[in-house]
Structure 1
Amino acid sequence: MKTAILALICLQLADSAAVFDRNYTKPYVLKKTWVQNFIKFQYIFEGNQQKPKIVPLGCSPTNVDSDDYLKPGETSIEHDFLFSCEEGEDGVLNYEATACIDAYGQVMHPGEKRSLSNGTVVLHCNIYGGALKKVVERAAGCYFNETIYSEDEKWVELQVNPVDSSIDGRLMQCFRPHYSYYESHVVGCVIGKLGVLIGEFGQLLDGSYVKCVEAELGHVSLKQVSVDELQCNMDDKTFAHASQWTDEKKGANMKCNFGHIVKESCVIGNETLPIGQEVPVSRGCIFLCHPQTNVYICDNYLPEFQVVDTESEDLGPIEGNQVVVEQPDKKKSLKTVFKF
């Protein structure tokens, strides 16, 4: 009889054995558990007075009550997102996506992006409308070495052909022909800090001259050339590279620069005007020193000008034009513009 009573007392003590909350401070008696909105709750009776209380235990990624759940601070990967079970200062648990998972299983934090499909697609991980989302969009530009270059932007691709030592890399540029797909094109040669476009000339540090040539599509190299190949031709005359002269017919100071004729300044009488400067001239006109042509802006009709059927020659400054020292009270409007 004593043995039976002792066993009954032991069973009663086992039923009322105390367990502890997450802070391990108060004794509780375990009761029913359930899951609501991915949070696992437990209904308990607290203390000797058996006061009922509901406490959150953790997070359930499956939203089903089971022994497999996340404790506060733990994470889980579900549906290409990283979910975290976090406990606030008020003891409330939250189960929400805190990061994205890319196609390679790597974590993407909000604000990060990845380039996919050889750079033609960009994956964004960001907060949209208060929720973390993954957004895929087509890349607006050309992709190279984890970088997207916009239209007309240039970059350098290092030389990959060990046989050709004439260049250090290829000069690339992003194009978008006919507003369609973006395309990367080879546009020049690079050696050191010098970039030379295809078909153009350059000078190396040792003083020698080179030309960038494209032997076959996409393959460029630098070819040694003589200084004579850098000459300029104009009006049946030949000018050496780096030479300068004054063209009285065009009213301009010229220079031969790597095979190209460059207009450096304008000349009216004894006055030399830099490119871009506007000055008042005689006959009530304004003269603009343009890098390609001479521009006269006049309010009044000039009888010496007539419409011609064929393209006229470049006449340069109007004969007898002189720079007016005093600025007119009223700047001339662009009523009549002559370019020649």
Structure 2
Amino acid sequence: MSLEKELAAASATTLIFCLKLAESGAIFDRNFTKPYVLKKTWVQNFIKFQYIFEGKQGKAKIVPLGCAPTNVDSDNFLKPGEQSVEHDFMFSCEEGEDGVLNYEAIACIDAFGHPMYPGETRRLSNGTVVLHCNIYGGALKKVVERAAGCYFNETIYGEDEKWVEPQVNPNDSSIDGRLMQCFRPHYSYYESHVVGCVVGRMGILIDEFGQLSNGSYVKCVETELGHVSLKSAEVDDLSCKMDNTTHAHESRWSDEKRGANMKCNYGHIVKESCIIGSETFPIGQEVSVSRDCIFLCHPQTNVYICDNRLEEFNITDSGDNLGPIEANSGLKLTTSTKKKSLKSVFKF
């Protein structure tokens, strides 16, 4: 080999050796100055990097160029501040104060292609399905759950809750809206049912009566499935019948047989209080009575709570003959405050 060839080979070896030293000594830096020589690029963890040799001295640097949504080195990448939509999420290429780039999800994409930011929700399938976008376990995720209730006007109503919906029949001006209630039959899906009429701020259940501001009486009726309307009613329609006797609306009377004060209210008999002897007790009150029993004034029927079996009670086929303490006539009040257990409960 000639001397010139040997010198050329030695120079090439020295150049390759210097380049390797430069690469091994490269530092990470977001900023760089010209002139510089571009070298190879690569992608790692969705960030695209590049080796450069900066300045006349050829100082090696590793520069993050941007974010690669596909995690593959190509000419298509996001510059800092740019965003892209991938796999139902919106990602952003963000640069920190230290020059480090981060490629992370900043929002979810709903079924209509609109962004949902952390904490936002969307209601789908007539409100029966709720889509959440939130951070779970340090990562942004979409979670779908079935709504526990009935949906109307951006609100979910729980079981047995009521709300008002607009009138659906434009030809019926008798009501201002429909009274709705949420049901869950047999622990299955939640269902919205029409349960009454709404006039102003007053709600009247189906087949019930009400009085308008002008003094007239009306009845809420279901004309067809899902449609309700108000029909005029007379005051006689609001009367109550009990033991072959008719009682007018808002009338009151004492029933000696049941030991109670009654009232007729919009066609319904309401028990207002209980009577023992000459004394009257409000609904819900307990008093000690003779035969070592406790008497409870119940809104529907009288209740006697006794520890001991009462000899005068017999099993009968009819509820007409209720025994010697019917109407509380044979009872006497006592001053005992001893609490009774529920070993024997008798209802009349």
1:304-315 aligned at under 5 Å gives the runs 304-313=312-321
Q: Which consecutive residues of structure 2, in runs of 5 or more, have no partner in the other structure?
A: 1-28
1:328-339 aligned at under 5 Å gives the runs 328=338, 331-339=339-347
Tell me by how many angstroms 1:304 deviates.
Answer: 1.6
**Counterpart position of 1:261:** 269
Tell me by how many angstroms 1:216 deviates.
Answer: 1.6
In 2, Cα distance between equivalents of 1:190 and 1:159: 9
* Corresponding letter in the other structure for 1:289: C
Match among 24, 28, 39 for residue 47 of structure 2: 39
**Counterpart position of 1:126:** 134
Q: What TM-score does the superposition give when structure 1 sets the normalisation length?
A: 0.86
* Corresponding letter in the other structure for 1:310: S
1:1-340 aligned at under 5 Å gives the runs 26-27=33-34, 29=36, 30-46=38-54, 49-313=57-321, 316-328=326-338, 331-340=339-348
Deviations for 1:209-246, whole angstroms, at most 9, x for unmatched residues?
Answer: 11001122211101111111000001111111111111
* Corresponding letter in the other structure for 2:203: G
Of the structure 1 ranges 149-158 and 224-233, higher mean CA displacement relative to structure 2 is found in 149-158
Of the structure 1 ranges 165-174 and 266-275, higher mean CA displacement relative to structure 2 is found in 266-275
Note if contact 2:206-2:222 (Cα within 8 Å) is conserved in structure 1.
yes
Deviations for 1:144-163, whole angstroms, at most 9, x for unmatched residues?
Answer: 22333222222211013221
In 2, Cα distance between equivalents of 1:117 and 1:275: 46
Tell me by how many angstroms 1:253 deviates.
Answer: 1.1
Going from structure 1 to structure 2, the CA distance change for 1:36 and 1:337 (only over 3 Å counts) comes to: same
Q: Which consecutive residues of structure 1, in runs of 5 or more, have no partner in the other structure?
A: 1-20
Deviations for 1:79-105, whole angstroms, at most 9, x for unmatched residues?
Answer: 111111222344322211121111111
- Alignment length (residue pairs): 317
Note if contact 2:118-2:140 (Cα within 8 Å) is conserved in structure 1.
yes
> Secondary structure, in 3 states, of the residue corresponding to 2:39?
coil
In 2, Cα distance between equivalents of 1:302 and 1:317: 17
Identity, in percent, stands at: 76
Q: What TM-score does the superposition give when structure 2 sets the normalisation length?
A: 0.84
* Corresponding letter in the other structure for 2:271: K
Note if contact 2:276-2:328 (Cα within 8 Å) is conserved in structure 1.
no
* Corresponding letter in the other structure for 2:259: G
**Counterpart position of 1:13:** none
Deviations for 1:48-104, whole angstroms, at most 9, x for unmatched residues?
Answer: 543322232221112222333222232211111111122234432221112111111
Of the structure 1 ranges 254-263 and 160-169, higher mean CA displacement relative to structure 2 is found in 160-169
